[in-house]
């Protein structure tokens, strides 16, 4: 249940969430997806993605819910000029909503629920997202301040893995977290959390992830954790952070596999750099230590860390590879 929605500003939001309240109250559910008012889906680690019997009264009710969420968060709202709403609820849950100007079939709503209990690496072993041998490798990497890139598709578990890794950071270290939308739950005594502002009243970027990253370099960090790199500006600042000797830098990226992740990171960096592709790639291969790829397996509805690659002598070398047939990892 979204227990943080308790102020008067959220009274109408709670009222219009009533049709999907059973899903909000179910601790197993991680995602709620409204494809249209009468087509509601849910996702949980045990069942995977499934269609529910829940429904809103009509499209107007979903539109009103989206408007009330925007109003409660003081976000600029216009069904024509801003038909896409990205927001973070007070409890940390993420909302992405669209209006008919963007989705002619009707309003849509996706809620990625903030986990009630954070997962550490031990818990990921218990759910078989990783193996015990991989856990040992990752714990050693975090203790030694290795630079780590995590890749995967949407909803593959990149943020969950990054959050679990952050639990292994020694408590004496100072951490700066930069995110587009706050998702990480760091239980650390010396941490600064920075969040980009999506837009101002004119729907223009007000505070970019690249600017947050540049600021983090001046705050004496032992570790810099970047929620996800999506734009060339952020990739270029990330590149500079690695090249100026910062250790213990971790981030995530959308990609199909570990090698593709490196290529995409280079391509994004190239968008704001005059250096050749080969030079940027070489620098990343000398400054990154691990590239991890995590997948959501549609057939079984589970998440697995499918690739653990180490960077040695300027080369990306597989260390652990997941075999879906045997549901096991090999070195």
| Closest CA relative to residue 263, chosen from 305, 293, 226 | 293
Q: Which residues are paired to 151 by β-bridges? A: 253, 293
Percent of the chain with pLDDT over 90: 55
pLDDT band at 233 (very low <50, low <70, confident <90, very high): confident
Instruction: Collapse the DSSP code of 69 into the 3-class scheme (helix H, G, I; strand E, B; otherwise coil) and give the result.
Output: helix
Instruction: Output DSSP code: residue 289.
Output: -
Query: pLDDT at residue 47 above 50?
Result: yes
Query: pLDDT at residue 3 above 90?
Result: no
CATH of domain 8-112: 3.30.450.90
Q: Give the whole-angstrom CA distance, residue 105 versus residue 86.
A: 19
Query: Of 108-117, 133-142, 230-239, 315-324, where does mean pLDDT reach its minimum?
Result: 108-117
Q: Which CATH class is domain 121-330?
A: alpha beta
pLDDT digits (tens, 9 = 90+) for 66-84: 999 988 888 888 888 889 9
- In CATH terms, are 8-112 and 121-330 the same topology? no
The predicted pLDDT at position 1 comes to: 46
Instruction: Output DSSP code: residue 37.
Output: T
Q: Give the whole-angstrom CA distance, residue 206 versus residue 89.
A: 19
Q: Give the whole-angstrom CA distance, residue 164 versus residue 181.
A: 18
Q: Where are the domains of the chain?
A: 8-112, 121-330
Query: pLDDT at residue 110 above 80?
Result: yes
| Closest CA relative to residue 138, chosen from 154, 125, 127 | 125
Instruction: Output DSSP code: residue 75.
Output: -
In degrees, to the nearest 5, what angle opens at C-alpha 145 toward C-alphas 229 and 230?
A: 0
- Backbone φ/ψ region at 88: left (φ over 0), alpha (ψ -120 to 50), beta: beta
Global pTM value: 0.78
The predicted pLDDT at position 115 comes to: 61
């Amino acid at each position: 249940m979204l227990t943080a929605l308790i102020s008067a500003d959220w009274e109408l939001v709670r009222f219009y969430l009533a049709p999907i309240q059973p899903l909000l109250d179910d601790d197993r559910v991680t995602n709620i997806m409204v494809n249209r008012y009468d087509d509601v889906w849910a996702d949980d680690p045990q069942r995977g993605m499934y269609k529910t019997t829940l429904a809103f009264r009509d499209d107007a009710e979903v539109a009103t819910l989206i408007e009330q969420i925007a109003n409660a968060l003081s976000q600029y709202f216009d069904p024509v000029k801003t038909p896409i709403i990205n927001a973070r609820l007070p409890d940390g849950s993420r909302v992405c909503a669209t209006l008919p100007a963007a989705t002619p079939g009707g309003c849509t709503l996706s809620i990625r629920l903030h986990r009630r209990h954070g997962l550490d690496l031990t818990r990921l072993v218990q759910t078989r997202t990783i193996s015990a041998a991989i856990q040992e490798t990752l714990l050693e990497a975090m203790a030694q301040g290795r630079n780590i890139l995590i890749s995967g598709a949407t909803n593959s578990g990149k943020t969950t893995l990054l959050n679990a890794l952050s639990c292994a950071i020694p408590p004496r270290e100072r951490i700066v977290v930069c995110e587009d939308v706050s998702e990480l739950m760091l239980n650390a005594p010396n941490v600064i959390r920075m969040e980009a502002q999506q837009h101002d009243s004119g729907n223009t970027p007000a505070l970019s992830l690249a600017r947050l990253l540049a600021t983090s370099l001046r705050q004496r960090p032992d570790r810099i954790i970047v929620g996800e790199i999506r734009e060339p500006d952020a990739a270029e600042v990330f590149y500079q952070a690695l090249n100026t000797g910062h250790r213990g830098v971790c981030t995530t990226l959308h990609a199909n596999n570990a090698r593709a992740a490196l290529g995409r990171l280079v391509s994004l960096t190239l968008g704001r750099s005059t250096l050749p592709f080969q030079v940027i790639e070489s620098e990343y291969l000398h400054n990154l230590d691990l590239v991890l790829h995590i997948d959501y397996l549609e057939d079984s509805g589970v998440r697995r860390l499918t690739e653990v690659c180490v960077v040695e002598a300027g080369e990306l070398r597989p260390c652990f590879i997941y075999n879906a047939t045997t549901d096991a990892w090999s070195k």
